[in-house]
A and B are shown apart, each in its own frame.
Chain A
Amino acid sequence: MNDLKLLRWSAVALLLVTGMIDLYYGNSFAGFYENLWYVMGGIYIFAALVIASNIEPHFSQLTVFAYTLFLWSVWATVALETGTGLDAVAYADKAIEAILAVNMVLLFRNSRAGLIV
């Protein structure tokens, strides 16, 4: 149970950090793509609140995990195609997102342990 709590709160912390970086990125760079980072950051902060509240934990944890990979995939393909988002802030953001994805896997597996009949 303590592991579960630790994983949940570390996920909340990572979500908040990533959300804040995304908001910073959206604020620091002008342009259509960078402005989308505002939305991404807002959703991360909302997700942090949902995970912290433990509302429908299995569904929300899986959704946040998928959202993290979705944004990673968007970033990687846009970066490959246009060269956008290849800077230190984006690298830091994506590194934290990768840790967050692993965190969400562990959280999801732990919270569902014993659920399967």
Chain B
Amino acid sequence: MSGSGFRKLSSAKLLVAAALIAIFSGAVVGLSVGYVVHYSAPATRIFYLFDGTVPFDESMFYGHPHDTFVPDTITVDKGDHVVIHYVNIEDIGEAHTYTMDPPYTFDATVYGNATQQGVVGTYPNVGNVVLSQGQNATITFTASWAGTFRYYCAYHQPTMTGYLVVIG
């Protein structure tokens, strides 16, 4: 800064000029970020997940189980906090798991069924949780990695499989 123009201008004029340039350029950058990135803020996404069945005779299709996940796709944005209420609604004494492969792990709280009330167990930072008939679990994690990731029941493959789609 030489002693020329900058010194001659009054403080008020300099401040107003700086403010106008800053606010205008900030608005241009802000609008561009919003327009180009199509960004949405991380949020808590809550899902209800159940075991389901497809009506076919398991013995007739290469021994494949007729079990499925309902829903079989969960779509979130990267950074979202995901809460899944997973319920084993089997009418027979059959267990199911909620399992995810790395990099994803989750925290799970398993609640009892008609014969076993209350919290059955808490499992921090695991990749697999087992639910007996009638039990339910609250599964939580942050969708930190973008991409498509499998969630599945380890007992009923390959049919009981769903996909977590994380939009980055």
Q: Mark B37-78, 1 if CB is under 8 A from A, else 0.
A: 101111000000000000000000000000000000000011
Q: Is the CB of B30 within 8 A of A74?
A: yes
Does B147 touch A at the CB level, under 8 Å?
no
**Nearest Cβ distance between residue B151 and chain A, in whole angstroms?**
20
Q: Which residues on the B side are within 8 Å of A5 (C-beta)? A: none
Extra contacts, 13 of them, besides A73-B26, A77-B29 (Cβ < 8 A), are A30-B142, A31-B79, A33-B33, A65-B18, A69-B26, A70-B23, A73-B24, A74-B27, A74-B30, A77-B26, A83-B41, A86-B41, A116-B10
Q: Mark A12-30, 1 if CB is under 8 A from B, else 0.
A: 0000000000000000011
**How far is it, in angstroms, between the C-alpha of A83 and the C-alpha of B144 when the chains are bound?**
20
User: How would you classify the secondary structure of chain A's contact residues: helix, strand, loop or mixed?
Assistant: helix
Sorted from nearest, which 3 A-B pairs have the closest CB atoms?
A73-B26, A77-B30, A81-B34
Q: How large is the interface on B (under 10, 10 to 19, 20 to 34, 35 or more residues)?
A: 20 to 34
**Nearest Cβ distance between residue A73 and chain B, in whole angstroms?**
3
Q: Can you identify 8 A-B contacts, CB atoms within 8 angstroms?
A: A29-B42, A62-B14, A62-B15, A69-B26, A70-B22, A70-B23, A82-B39, A108-B15
**How far is it, in angstroms, between the C-alpha of A67 and the C-alpha of B26 when the chains are bound?**
9
Q: Is the CB of A32 within 8 A of B37?
A: yes
Q: Is the CB of A116 within 8 A of B34?
A: no
Residues of A within 8 A of B (CB): 29-34, 56, 58-59, 62-63, 65-78, 81-86, 105, 108-109, 112, 115-117
Q: Is the CB of A82 within 8 A of B42?
A: no
Nearest A residue to B145 via CB reads A30
Q: Which of B12, B19, B30 contacts A76 (CB 8 A)?
A: B30
State whether A58 and B18 are in contact (beta carbons under 8 Å apart), knowing that A69-B23, A73-B27 are contacts in the complex. no
**Nearest Cβ distance between residue B2 and chain A, in whole angstroms?**
11
Q: Is the CB of A84 within 8 A of B39?
A: yes
Q: Which residues on the A side are within 8 Å of B6 (C-beta)? A: 58-59
Q: Which residues on the B side are within 8 Å of A109 (C-beta)? A: 11-12, 15
Q: Is the CB of B40 within 8 A of A82?
A: yes
Q: Is the CB of A77 within 8 A of B79?
A: no
**How far is it, in angstroms, between the C-alpha of A69 and the C-alpha of B17 when the chains are bound?**
12
Q: Is the CB of B30 within 8 A of A84?
A: no
Nearest B residue to A86 via CB reads B41
Does B157 touch A at the CB level, under 8 Å?
no
**How far is it, in angstroms, between the C-alpha of A6 and the C-alpha of B24 when the chains are bound?**
31
**How far is it, in angstroms, between the C-alpha of A39 and the C-alpha of B37 when the chains are bound?**
18
